Amino acid sequence: MTDFLVLGAGIAGLAAARDLAAAGMRVQVLDKSRGVSGRAATKRFKDSHGEGLRLDHGARFMTARHARTHALVSEGLEAGWLSEWTRSVPEWQEGRLIAAPDGHPRYVGAAGMSDIGKALAEGLDVKTGVQITQIERRDGQWQLHSADGQMFEAQTLLLNAPAPQLAALLEEQAQTGTLSAVTFQPCWAVGVALAADLEVNWPALRVSNHPALEWVAREHTKRLSLSGPNPPSLMLHARADWSVEHLEDSPQQVTALLLEAAREIAGDFEVLGSFAHRWRYATPDQRFAEACGWLPDQRLGWCGDWCQSDEHGPRLEAALLSGWALAERV
């Protein structure tokens, strides 16, 4: 039996698990996906010419405002799994480009944003492809049952997943009424392989006052491949209200609409391949009031970027801070 079960191998869960394991605890991390990192996700796909691309369709980049995050960034830069992308992301507003030379570094995974989770997971006991369907507490132990009949048990359970999913999964097993107050906005993301790069010099755009898009990135500018520059590509993120309106549209419908919107902003381009991904729980708009949740009597905790770990809002660094805070509370 392990000391801690961490359900969810996103950035916050891995940060907590890493600290607990470093303190000598026996920790096992479970996740339903095939890999780790949660929304710090990287999609691999091939264009119509067979060229392989890696596009970050979840978290766009990582920032560092706190001492411990700076230390992690230094570790990643030295080890080679992290690199600096840009220090300026201009704003597109009704056809005008507004410069934004803030000098604030944006960091990305060397081969994709998922590299950050992979680095945090190194040395941990992580089991992926596990769909937990039932959680119960018996005789002072947490028992997790999977869809394929496996059972996992530990005295302490830490949760790293969107709050609405956690509230539904726990049901009557714990007093977690505060989780139901956390709400999320969705986001449709579309990745695009281009026949040729755009004739622009910006790495990405923050899009304002557009009915559909809020983010356009020349994704290939984030990193170099071993053979040189990556094939040109775009990453498009839709506005939350647009994503709500089109939440149940097909990926093909969403792709067509967002490609049309991107041409309004970036000019015409030829597409060699594309994909669409719907993040139903993308951005928390009503967050949990603390850096993490911890119920000591029930040995139950939770963390995520939907917890208020600092004053700067939900982002990848907030997930790290929440996970570290939960490990400290425990």
Tens of pLDDT, residue by residue over 261-305, are: 999 999 999 999 999 999 999 999 999 999 999 999 999 999 999
pLDDT at position 179, please? 84
% pLDDT > 70, the chain: 96
Q: List, as one string, the DSSP characters of 36-80.
A: SBTTS--EEEE-TT--EEEE--S---B---SHHHHHHHHHHHHHT
All domains in the chain, ordered by first residue: 1-37+113-182+287-330 (3.50.50.60), 43-112+183-286 (3.90.660.10)
Which residues is 143 bridged to in the sheet? 136, 153
Tokens 């026949």, residue located: 195
Kindly state the tokens that stand for 166.
């956690």
CB 49 within 8 A of CB 58: no
Residues in the chain where the model's pLDDT stays below 50: none
State pLDDT tens for residues 176-205: 667 888 999 999 999 999 999 999 999 999
Distance CA 230, CA 233 (A): 8
**Per-residue pLDDT, 182:** 92
Tokens in use for 110? Answer: 């060397």
Residue-level pLDDT at 226: 54
pLDDT tens-digit profile of 127-147? 999 999 989 999 989 999 999
Name 184's bridge partners: 284
